[in-house]
Amino acid sequence: MLPGRTVAPSRTLRFIAWWFAGLSDARTWFPGFRLLLVGVLLGIAVGWSFGRILHVVVLEEHSLPKPVISPAPGRAWVHVLTTGYCPCALCCGLFANGHTAINRDVATFPFGIAAAPALIPYRMTLEVPGYGTALVDDTGGAMRQDAVRHVVHLDLRFVTHAEALRWGRRWMWISLPADGPAAQVETLHEAGR
């Protein structure tokens, strides 16, 4: 630094000096302190209220009881794991092209079901309680891995990521063809219970 040359304070230091200027004067320190205290308390109140209003979505695993009525003839109740997904990069990966495993455009068909084709064939229409009726048109690694472990896993497609998160993980009973592989998995489970 050159002699006789002063350095100008930074913007941050000037702001802090301006903010606390009322506290340095003997005549204005009390109103300045009161204003500072009100600002701090207001900040705490706003932060607390947002904490009370803003709810964190907790992914819970829900389970519905087995229906007491018999399924339609030729069908059986199968206990399935349902999860939600959307066509975003978080759910489908960075290289997802917006088409399902059977080449359906998700923009045209925003709702659908992903399943392990070894258990539930493509193009089968399923009715899922709370979701509605949709076509099995996709698959995924999690569904295929669960099928190896004898778990029927359906991944329900939603339009937005928030809707998929809101669905979470739910175990439920769904009516599937009694002679299909998924019903055979349920028979294995009942024999083990």
**pLDDT recorded at residue 42:** 80
Q: Is residue 6 part of a domain?
A: no
**pLDDT recorded at residue 182:** 87
Phi and psi, residue 94, nearest 5° = -70, -25
Domain co-membership, 24 together with 67: no
Q: Is residue 5 part of a domain?
A: no
Residue 42 buriedness (CB in 10 A; 0-12 / 13-18 / 19+): exposed
Domain co-membership, 172 together with 136: yes
Helix, strand or coil, per DSSP, at residue 70: coil
**pLDDT recorded at residue 164:** 92
The residue-averaged pLDDT of 17-45 equals 73
Domain co-membership, 106 together with 146: yes
Handedness of CA 81, 162, 87, 158 (dihedral sign): positive
Q: Is residue 105 part of a domain?
A: yes
The residue-averaged pLDDT of 94-112 equals 91
Token code pair at residue 64? 């519905």
Domain co-membership, 148 together with 99: yes
Low-confidence winner among 36-50, 68-82, 118-132 (lowest mean pLDDT): 36-50
Say if residues 130 and 106 touch (Cβ distance below 8 Å): no
Domain count, the chain: 2
Domain co-membership, 38 together with 109: no
Domain co-membership, 43 together with 66: no
Domain harbouring 92, CATH code? 2.40.40
- Name the residue range of residue 17's domain: 11-53
Domain co-membership, 168 together with 92: yes
**pLDDT recorded at residue 88:** 87
The residue-averaged pLDDT of 80-95 equals 89
Q: What is the pLDDT of residues 104-137, one digit of tens each?
A: 999 999 999 999 999 999 999 999 999 999 999 9
Domain co-membership, 78 together with 45: no
Low-confidence winner among 13-27, 44-58, 146-160, 173-187 (lowest mean pLDDT): 44-58
Percent of the chain with pLDDT over 70: 78
Q: What is the Cα–Cα distance from 137 to 99, expressed in whole angstroms?
A: 10
**pLDDT recorded at residue 61:** 57
